[in-house]
Amino acid sequence: MIAANDALIIVDPQVDFCPGGRLAVADGDAVMAPIAALAERFAHVVVTQDWHPAGHLSFASSHPGAQPFDVIAMSYGEQVLWPDHCIQNTPGAEFHPAILPAAARADLIVRKGSNPAVDSYSAFFDNDHATRTGLAGALRDRGVTRCVFVGLAYDFCVAWSALDARAEGFEAVVLREFTRAIAMPLAHGTSVDAAEARFAAAGVSDTL
Over residues 85-102, the pLDDT tens digits come to 999 999 999 999 999 999
Q: Which of 126, 182, 188 minimizes the C-alpha distance to 155?
A: 182
- The CA distance from 159 to 139, in Å, is 18
Domain-embedded: residue 116: yes
Per-residue confidence (pLDDT) for residue 14, from 0 to 100: 98
**Is 86 one of the catalytic residues?**
no
Rounded distance, CA 208 to CA 69, Å? 33
Catalytic residue among 18, 86, 147, 157: 157
Q: Which of 178, 177, 181, 208 is nearest to 195 (CA)?
A: 181
Strand segments, DSSP code E, in the chain are 6-11, 44-50, 71-74, 77-80, 108-112, 146-152, 171-180
Q: What is the pLDDT of residue 187?
A: 87
Measured CA distances, 98 to 12, 87, 95, 157, 158 (Å): 13, 20, 8, 20, 19
Is 207 inside any structural domain? no
pLDDT at 66: 96
Q: Is residue 66 part of a domain?
A: no
Q: Is the peptide bond before 172 cis (omega within 30 degrees of 0)?
A: no
> Structural domain tally of the chain?
1
Q: Is residue 72 part of a domain?
A: no
Q: Judge whether 63 lies within some domain.
A: no
Give me the CATH number covering residue 126: 3.40.50.850
| 12 annotated active-site | yes
For residue 116, give its domain range: 6-53+84-202
Domain-embedded: residue 58 = no
If we measure between CA atoms, which residue out of 8, 35, 3 comes closest to residue 108? Answer: 8
Question: What is the predicted pLDDT for the residue at 86?
Answer: 98
Quote the pTM value: 0.97
Active site residue 128: no
> Is there a domain that residue 39 lies in?
yes
Q: What 8-state DSSP symbol labels residue 93?
A: G
Low-confidence ranges of the chain (pLDDT < 50): none
Would residue 175 count as lying in a domain?
A: yes
Which one of 29, 112, 155, 164 is the catalytic residue? 112
